[in-house]
Chains A and B, each alone.
Chain A
Amino acid sequence: DAKTTQPTSMDCAEGRAANLPCNHSTISGNEYVYWYRQIHSQGPQYIIHGLKNNETNEMASLIITEDRKSSTLILPHATLRDTAVYYCIVRVASSGDLTNFGNEKLTFGTGTRLTIIP
């Protein structure tokens, strides 16, 4: 799986958009960008993933550059509950066939510690 680079820490004011960058310059054509976050004393939680098109769900938006070498996770209206460590991970995604197993493990880096300031 391709290596990712993230800033160690970021602050964001409550109510503002939090934009978390991730560089993945060695990403392969069949690799997706995944984001997980880990709130203190909890396990990591899936947020969103995408291949090349921008994605949005109820938690966040994911913007992937056209060359796919970097991406940004956007939390549109950050709240204090969004304070967490955010992990950007690149890996091959499911083909849709849940029985087509391959390299299943996720490789986490050290992530970005996001602090929401009241």
Chain B
Amino acid sequence: GAGVSQSPRYKVAKRGQDVALRCDPISGHVSLFWYQQALGQGPEFLTYFQNEAQLDKSGLPSDRFFAERPEGSVSTLKIQRTQQEDSAVYLCASSLGARVRYTFGSGTRLTVV
């Protein structure tokens, strides 16, 4: 597609439930990023893929967070045993190559109740 697509757009999860958030990057984009954005804050880096390789996961807040991009295109961010503090907008971005501009999706708003 023309842009980065994320689904679902909104997700409500009960505390303790597992969730999976999907990102479809722009076709051919090598780099893929996940960011977490709390209300009123700027996006915070979670993890980065170059093709299927996860090269940086330094921003993942705990081992309950897991991301994958098995075929180098679609990526999934999984959060296990969700907690209220996981409530945020999760943004995905992709870029064509090294240190060029990002294109962001509209995000998935996760609310843990």
Contacts and interface: CB of A to CB of B under 8 A. Distances in A.
Contacts of B30: 98
B4 interface: yes
Interface residues of B, number: 30
Interface string B19-37: 0000000000011010100
A101 B96 contact: no
Contact of A98 (B45, B59, B97, B107): B97
A97 B48 CA distance: 19
Interface in B16-66: 30-31, 33, 35, 41-45, 48, 50, 55-56, 59
B111 interface: no
Most buried by B among A87, A93, A101, A107: A101
Contact of A94 (B45, B55, B99): B99
13 contacts: A34-B101, A43-B4, A87-B42, A94-B97, A94-B98, A95-B99, A98-B30, A98-B96, A98-B100, A99-B98, A101-B97, A105-B33, A110-B42
